[in-house]
């Protein structure tokens, strides 16, 4: 209100003194300029854009590989309850000496004799040259395998993490010494089986004795460095020697990938579509945002799905832990060594990319940016790093970094889809009208079909347990 000549005027009286039409009143006759509906959940979805897509006409994609001999050196899982750790008997078959040994009672007897031990950072778990008196399984933490370099200096040969083991020689022999030293990098929890306890169980089990004796005699079949059945080839010879005969053996049961599906039913009242579709078609806008949501779910599944997701299907030998937690340049170089044959790109959570930048800045390194499809993205050793918020971040503040080689011609990672389906709206995505119910609501079935396949194990490497808040 205002006061004029001692009189107080109300708001309406004040408005009547305006000498022109107010903007609030003028808007009643104006047409607003509006945007299409916005959605914060839409991301760049780099994985879907970068993967080459393979047409799967039959709905199933079979990956044929050369026959590979499995050596049983995978990771061992444990039963963990708070701070208490127990060995799962069947997991002991991941030890090379117990590979394909199926007597569960004997495995249970071995598992019961493991005892839990804790080591502080910097503490030696085993010393090279000392008697190999126990089997050690790493339940938690990071351990360095230490050897002697060519010039006599101490060298870190490998970084081990939870699920790895330090050898199983005490099962097969009554003597022997540690070939390497093992030092705890973080706090480490291990499960140890003393040689005396192991041989007590072996002495009571003829089946285990025979199994270990067969392994000791050696039944290994010739294989190449990748574990594949070897192809006999002669070279560097003179004259007319007898050449070896050979053939390329294949896996007996190749893996098959079935297309997965993400679906939803879009519901739109006919009254809304009839009366409120100018200037924007209401059904089309609803459909556009629904398709974005399905594509976001598709990328999430292609990374996290346990059946075909990249994080869960990476080969165990292709998973490496960080040396100290944060993603250092040394860790990125180790990751590049896992996919050294024509690496395509790195994929990391935005927070992990920020952590990589911090570690590089701390060392005075400034990785060059590369131009990709009009986008400036960071890179490491010329390999671009793309953000992906679908890679999970744990409550402890750790994440993973993926390195991919892509394409069928490069024996890499490929996306799988089926284009040409009925009522196709986008490649491998269909929108089917399901009719109008008795409440005048139109229903549309929206379906997206997809999967991912890793053609050979070394097409994907994963840097695990990356600390992003260090």
**CATH number assigned to the domain covering 78-217:** 2.60.120.10
**What's the pLDDT at 364?**
92
**Residue 457 contacts residue 315 (beta carbons within 8 Å):** yes
Helices marked H in 278-328 — which ranges? 282-304, 310-313
Span of 100-104, 126-130, 380-384, 433-437 with lowest mean pLDDT: 100-104
Give me the percent of the chain exceeding a pLDDT of 70.
Answer: 88
pTM of the model: 0.73
Instruction: Name, in order, each residue with C-beta under 8 angstroms of 321's C-beta and a sequence gap of 6 or more.
Output: 142, 159, 160, 161, 463, 464, 465
Q: Do strands 319-321 and 143-148 pair parallel, antiparallel, or not at all (unpaired)?
A: unpaired
Q: Which residue has tokens 């080591």?
A: 119
Average pLDDT of the chain is 86
Q: Region 85-109: what's the mean pLDDT?
A: 86
Q: Do strands 134-140 and 2-4 pair parallel, antiparallel, or not at all (unpaired)?
A: unpaired
- CA-CA-CA-CA dihedral for 281, 283, 284, 290, to nearest 10: 150
**What's the pLDDT at 169?**
74
Q: Is the pLDDT of residue 306 over 70?
A: yes
Tell me the domain boundaries of the chain: 46-58+259-467, 78-217
Span of 49-63, 177-191, 288-302 with lowest mean pLDDT: 177-191
**What's the pLDDT at 382?**
92
Q: Which residue has tokens 């300029």?
A: 33
Q: What are the C-alpha distances in Å from 226 to residues 54, 69, 94, 190, 231?
A: 26, 9, 18, 29, 12
Q: Is the pLDDT of residue 154 over 70?
A: yes
Q: How do residues 192-242 score in pLDDT, each as one tens digit?
A: 998 888 888 888 888 888 888 876 444 445 666 666 666 667 676 677 777
Q: How confident is the model at residue 357 (pLDDT cuts 50, 70, 90)?
A: very high
Take residue 363 and report the two structure tokens written for it. 């060392």
Q: How confident is the model at residue 78 (pLDDT cuts 50, 70, 90)?
A: confident
């Amino acid at each position: 209100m205002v006061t004029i000549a001692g009189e107080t005027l109300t708001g309406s009286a004040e408005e009547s003194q305006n000498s022109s039409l107010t903007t609030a009143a003028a808007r009643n006759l104006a047409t607003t300029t509006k945007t299409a509906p916005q959605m914060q959940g839409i991301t760049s979805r780099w994985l879907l854009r970068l993967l080459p897509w393979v047409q799967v006409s039959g709905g199933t994609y079979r990956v044929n590989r050369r026959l590979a001999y499995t050596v049983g050196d995978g990771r061992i899982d444990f039963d963990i309850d708070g701070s208490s750790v127990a060995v799962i008997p069947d997991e002991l078959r991941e030890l090379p000496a117990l590979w394909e040994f199926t007597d569960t009672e004997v495995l249970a007897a071995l598992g019961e004799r493991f005892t839990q031990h804790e080591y502080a950072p910097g503490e030696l778990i085993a010393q090279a040259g000392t008697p190999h008196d126990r089997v050690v399984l790493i339940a938690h933490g990071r351990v360095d395998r230490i050897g002697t370099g060519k010039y006599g200096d101490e060298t870190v040969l490998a970084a081990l993490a939870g699920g790895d083991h330090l050898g199983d020689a005490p099962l097969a022999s009554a003597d022997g010494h540690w070939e390497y030293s093992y030092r705890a990098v973080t706090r480490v929890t291990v499960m140890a089986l003393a040689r005396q306890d192991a041989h007590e169980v072996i002495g009571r089990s003829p089946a285990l004795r025979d199994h270990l004796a067969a392994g000791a005699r050696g039944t290994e079949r010739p294989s190449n460095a990748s574990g594949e059945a070897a192809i006999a080839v002669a070279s560097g010879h003179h004259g007319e020697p007898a050449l070896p005969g050979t053939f390329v053996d294949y896996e007996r049961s190749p893996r098959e990938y079935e297309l997965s599906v993400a679906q939803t039913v879009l519901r739109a009242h006919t009254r809304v579509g009839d009366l409120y579709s100018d200037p924007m078609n209401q059904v089309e806008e609803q459909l556009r945002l629904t398709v974005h949501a399905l594509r976001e779910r598709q990328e999430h599944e292609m990374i996290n799905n346990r059946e075909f997701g990249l994080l869960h299907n990476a080969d165990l030998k292709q998973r490496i832990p960080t040396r100290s937690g944060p993603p250092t340049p040394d860790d990125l170089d180790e990751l590049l060594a896992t996919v050294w044959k024509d690496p395509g790109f790195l994929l990391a959570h935005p927070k992990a990319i920020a952590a990589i930048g911090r570690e590089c800045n701390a060392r005075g390194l400034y990785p060059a940016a590369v131009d990709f499809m009009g986008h400036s993205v960071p890179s490491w050793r010329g390999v671009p790093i793309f953000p992906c918020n679908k890679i999970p971040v744990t409550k402890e503040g750790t994440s993973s970094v993926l390195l991919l080689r892509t394409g069928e011609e490069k024996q890499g990672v490929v996306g799988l889809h089926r284009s040409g389906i009925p009522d196709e709206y986008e490649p491998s995505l269909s929108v089917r009208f399901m009719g109008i119910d008795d409440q005048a609501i139109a229903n549309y079935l929206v379906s997206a079909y997809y999967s991912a396949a890793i053609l050979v194990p070394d097409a994907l490497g994963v840097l695990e347990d990356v600390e992003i808040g260090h």
